[in-house]
Structure 1
């Protein structure tokens, strides 16, 4: 068996992709993923712990924010602030 200690294992859980709603546990908010980039592509101080940065925007518009792409997940019911309105 060839085990490499200290090497991160690839994530097997599904992660939100651009165009999908994601929960950002660092901010406690949900937003639509606009893009995901490698930190090597960025020209600003990203201060992320993983090697990928996600850009999110609130579903109904607003100020975009950056998040650790490795920490994003699909939101659970009631997670992430404002709820979607119910249809009449």
Structure 2
């Protein structure tokens, strides 16, 4: 198995969504619910991430899960990523 050594990345300066929260992935331009976040050393597949943490996201209404760099995730702004949010009454 070919393992690349990754240098620890600096922690982001913004709040990062945690599992169960909706996140915006700026690389894909999509929003999804964070399912889990793992260090690259825990993964058994070629993750192709440059950071040391990988997030697994799934569309809010279900669908195919994707991976993203955990440190790049942020809470979505209104209308960002096509997320439809119910408005409070």
TM-score, normalising length from structure 1? 0.83
Q: Which runs of 4+ in 1 moved over 6 A?
A: none
Q: Which runs of 5+ in 2 are unaligned?
A: 1-7
Equivalent residue, structure 1, for 2:3: none
Q: Which runs of 5+ in 1 are unaligned?
A: 1-6
Equivalent residue, structure 2, for 1:16: 17
Alignment coverage as a number of residue pairs:
82
TM-score, normalising length from structure 2? 0.82
Equivalent residue, structure 2, for 1:59: 60
Check 1:68–1:83 CA distance in 2 against 1; reply closer, same or farther (3 A cut): same
- SS of the residue corresponding to residue 15 of structure 1 reads coil
Q: Is residue 33 from structure 1 mapped to residue 34 from structure 2 by the alignment?
A: yes
* RMSD, aligned α-carbons: 1.9
Q: Which has the larger radius of gyration?
A: 1
